[in-house]
Amino acid sequence: MKIYNTLTKKKEEFVPIEEGKVRIYVCGPTVYNYIHIGNARPILVFDTVRRYFEYKGYEVNYVSNYTDVDDKIIKKANEEGVEAHIISERFIKEFIKDTMALNVNEATTHPKATEEIDGMIEMITTLIDKGYAYEKDGTVYFRTRRFEGYGKLSKKNIDDLESGIRIAVNDQKDDPLDFVLWKPKKEGEPSWQSPWSDGRPGWHIECSVMSRKYLGDEIDIHAGGEDLIFPHHENEIAQSEAANGKNFARYWMHNAFLNIDNKKMSKSQGNFFTVREIADKYDLKVLRFFMLNAHYRSPINFSRDLMESAKVSLERITNAYSQLEYFLEMNSESNECTETELEILTELKAFHNKFELAMDDDFNTADAISTIFEIVKLANTHCNTESSRKFVQSFIDEITLLADILGIIISKEKDLLDEDVDALIQARQDARKNKEFKLADEIRDELLSKGIILEDTREGVRWKRA
């Protein structure tokens, strides 16, 4: 398997630290608002990377943090007149809802910055002890020039960086390049006690600490959007390698942006759609499919037209799949494959291998999806009501397997049959007769969730499909 490593700017063969295991850390969201579809890109990309590793038999330890203390969270809390944790807790819940709807698997660990403050104080203390950090009036800074490898990820030269930095008037840093590890609180801000001041950590230190705690000093893959390369990931490397005296991450993976009118979609520019807004118009599996239609290192320019065409493309797969299920129902005799069918199944196997080759080549989901279309074409050409069950089943299994690696759900939720609806209505009537009103309501809600609306009339219960 080859991965493009931002650190070496090359595709490299993946060699895990520990055989059969992958330790991956993906920088997570700052939880002060609903996520937009730009934020959804790394979430979907790295969930797919994880799924593919798991398919290949690796045990994946996947850690992604919540940044739950930050200026933006505090600002929103002040606007609403509530404490910061009320905001972060609310948006962690909303984040979970969105990611579940996008069929994203839950991280092995999802640590919160505010629950890891002790570890941050410990790492900052080590950095001070080793001469990599210093305190000034309650603020602790990282001494950037002291870390020799600074700039190795973003390929920036430290002297060029220095000349590009404007120095704030009241800056107390020894060097403009130095960055904050700990800062004292301002009025109305959440804070924690520390040897330097009552305050809170800088953003970069949290990832260094959580990565070490949950994955160890050295990890296989560290990932995020490409805007995190500098300064966030560069600073994480400096902190972790200075504190631990070990290499931090072997492979650095960064997804390109989701743009709109060729500009990065971002909250601050106001040019964004939230995942929720998209969910009003589309099934979110279309968004997932749309995102994976591009290689993760290629920019995507979002447009309604592209979403529409992703919807139509996905329907080609789901329709073919439903058709295959229909053939299976029709061909109730369990018969063996014919000679011709066996030959076609070798073609199917070749497409499977092509899918893996695409994914092995730096997770080329775009080419992997093309392979699924080739399989769909093969199925549409050769499967029919005369085909053997085994033959049809092989196509169903293959499409299910490949779609599942990409996290795309393709089977349509089956509508309830009229008899099932009648049986559930009867069960609800019985529950009411027995005064089990909670159960009766649950049955009504279950029917409603499947699009069945009940009307209690004098003649009895009537129902219709929504």
**Which stretches of the chain bind ligand AMP, using CB under 6 A?**
27, 29-30, 38-39, 41-42, 224-225, 227-228, 255, 257-258, 264-266
Selection from 426, 408, 411 nearest residue 463 by Cα: 426
Q: Which long-range contacts link 378-384 to residues 24+ away (Cβ below 8 Å)?
A: 378/344, 378/347, 378/348, 378/351, 379/320, 379/323, 379/324, 380/320, 380/323, 382/341, 382/344, 383/323, 383/324, 383/327, 384/327
Selection from 253, 209, 233 nearest residue 112 by Cα: 209
**Smallest gap from residue 343 Cβ to ligand AMP (A):** 44
Under 8 Å between Cβ of 235 and 115: no
Rounded alpha-carbon distances, angstroms, from residue 180 to 79, 153, 174, 319 = 26, 19, 12, 54
Binding residues among 195-234 for Zn ion as defined by CB under 5 A? 207
Taking CB within 5 to 8 Å according to partner kind, which of Zn ion, ligand AMP, none is near residue 257? Answer: ligand AMP
Count of residues of this chain found to bind Zn ion when the rule CB under 5 A is applied: 2
**Smallest gap from residue 256 Cβ to ligand AMP (A):** 7
**Smallest gap from residue 281 Cβ to Zn ion (A):** 32
CA 420 to chain centre: 37
For ligand AMP, which is the closer residue by CB, 89 or 360? 89
Taking CB within 5 to 8 Å according to partner kind, which of ligand AMP, Zn ion, none is near residue 42? Answer: ligand AMP
For ligand AMP, which is the closer residue by CB, 2 or 297? 297
DSSP 3-state percent helix, strand, coil across the chain (nearest 5): 50, 15, 30
For ligand AMP, which is the closer residue by CB, 46 or 147? 46
For Zn ion, which is the closer residue by CB, 30 or 274? 30
**Smallest gap from residue 64 Cβ to ligand AMP (A):** 10
For Zn ion, which is the closer residue by CB, 206 or 398? 206
Distance between CA 28 and CA 20 in Å, rounded? 25
Taking CB within 5 to 8 Å according to partner kind, which of ligand AMP, Zn ion, none is near residue 265? Answer: ligand AMP
For ligand AMP, which is the closer residue by CB, 366 or 409? 366
**Smallest gap from residue 278 Cβ to ligand AMP (A):** 14
Selection from 215, 284, 301 nearest residue 250 by Cα: 215
| CB-nearest residue to ligand AMP | 225
Distance between CA 263 and CA 271 in Å, rounded? 9
Binding site for Zn ion (CB under 5 A): 27, 207
